[in-house]
Structure 1
């Protein structure tokens, strides 16, 4: 009887229950929010679809409807969020066959890609525009992310306790949840995100003076509710003043990594500094830079070998 009731249940209701049962408390709040948004789309796109009626055709139509207003990668992410619940329903015998097999992922044309990082000369031009006052402001935040490659939420979570000026290090051990009404500390993205980042002596000296009067366990940058658009808007102004491509704060992290790779720092060291869970992530993200350096190395090899005769 319970099984019959389940199969007659609306699919978006089943998905909502599945998220509450398997995802709440098991994934980060930001990830959980993505599942909740997916559930809202199910209500919008398949308000009357019953769990028992979910087949390959109805599932393909769901993805096609979603893809009308989303890029292919976003549609792929949506598919992966929904697929977990569907496979569990198949395992429970609530759906007779797996409707996600041989599915086609579509999507609208992707928007024009924004620059992912700046080169060394553009970074120098940007830093010259910073208004580095004797009190903490967002320009100091931009400088620190540029110099460390910290994630946005990691930089927001920094307290004076996290700075070891004797060793010129920052201890990254938490992040800041800024999407809710009241921000709060939360765990880092993963275990490998917990790390110590070396600071150059100049930045260490500057911050030692800036934060000396701030409570040791309070965020140095957060005084009220934070929106990443606030910092991105400030960065946009600075980029325009410097006459360089307009990038986001997250792109400063890419910039930091790319400059290190171009300067000859090993992939292993860059991965550790960024808090990547594996070098594979770093290699995939910066593949184009690695390939460019390999081409330069090949030219050096050929020049050297030609001189041996």
Structure 2
């Protein structure tokens, strides 16, 4: 990679040919480098952007992967991935040549990650991002095989947290005077929708006559601003039935909003609004603190106790398939085994 001295300006420049993505040969000229090594490094980095071989740095692989994913996944999904990669993966592999990275290198990185004592699910997710990067290198950059050959740790079985109807009633009674907050939590508890889905709701989404709510978007925070984007999965785009009392509460709240446009968010709040309310109120009323997302678990628990089957719950919550529902709530269904046996006993009476 020859570089040249510009004696007039006492700077360095690089001038070279490359082949673009259409197979066309192009010339590139870049001036103004104070040092020869800076010019050489700029040329190397530029050429790596067009390389289709694994003999590039991990940083260049990551840059290619981001461009590849930009229009293939939701912006919030890519931002989550990139935040984790920037923090936990890139510092370790950044300047390594991709084809030189071995399973042993990955194992050492995994060991260092495990030493940070993250939860098993978080640790496994970070490892999955590394696996995805190398899969891209295998699929598109002719890397022979991925060096990520083993899972980092076993999944951790954890108990889900939720409020019982009595616990939720204690919370909702305390916030009844704040009609906006009260209505928001009523919707979460009695529909099981996600926080972002709630905050994206408009009047156009609510059919008061048919007693249904359509969920077709979610509020996400990406690159420092709030945006609307499709729900989490294809199955999350759904229509759910709503009890009449909840519709009455929604109508009572929206009637108090001056000049509410049909496509205007009925809860024009940030994503931290609901969580802040929980952490502020629960200690004051001696109630355990849960996450906003745990209200979905609370709703599922109510449905299970009412005798709903897993398929119905999966459709209502917008799970990808019923296996997700069973993986999360199997132990709650198990708690009904004794009741079922008692009913079987009665069949013989």
Q: TM-score, normalised by structure 2?
A: 0.76
1:81 is aligned, of 129, 135, 150, to: 129
Give yes or no for contact 2:191–2:242 (8 Å, CA) kept in 1. yes
Which protein has the bigger strand share? 2
The structure with the largest alpha-carbon Rg is 2
Taking the aligned partners of 1:154 and 1:179, their CA distance within structure 2 comes to 16
What is the number of equivalent residue pairs in this alignment? 297
Give the 5 Å matches for 1:250-261.
Answer: 250-261=293-304
2:186 maps to 143
Give yes or no for contact 2:54–2:137 (8 Å, CA) kept in 1. no
Give the 5 Å matches for 1:1-309.
Answer: 6-21=53-68, 23-40=69-86, 41-69=88-116, 70-90=118-138, 95-101=143-149, 103=150, 105-106=152-153, 116-133=161-178, 137-212=180-255, 213=258, 214-222=260-268, 226-228=270-272, 230-302=273-345, 304=346, 308=349
The list of structure 1 runs, each at least 4 consecutive aligned residues, that deviate by more than 6 angstroms after superposition, is: 1-5
1:173–1:98 Cα change, 3 Å: closer
1:93–1:270 Cα change, 3 Å: closer
Taking the aligned partners of 1:190 and 1:144, their CA distance within structure 2 comes to 20
Taking the aligned partners of 1:104 and 1:193, their CA distance within structure 2 comes to 29
Structure with larger RCO (C-alpha < 8 A, sep 6+): 1
RMSD of the alignment, in Å?
2.8
Structure 2, gaps ≥5 residues long: 1-17, 19-46
1:25–1:299 Cα change, 3 Å: same
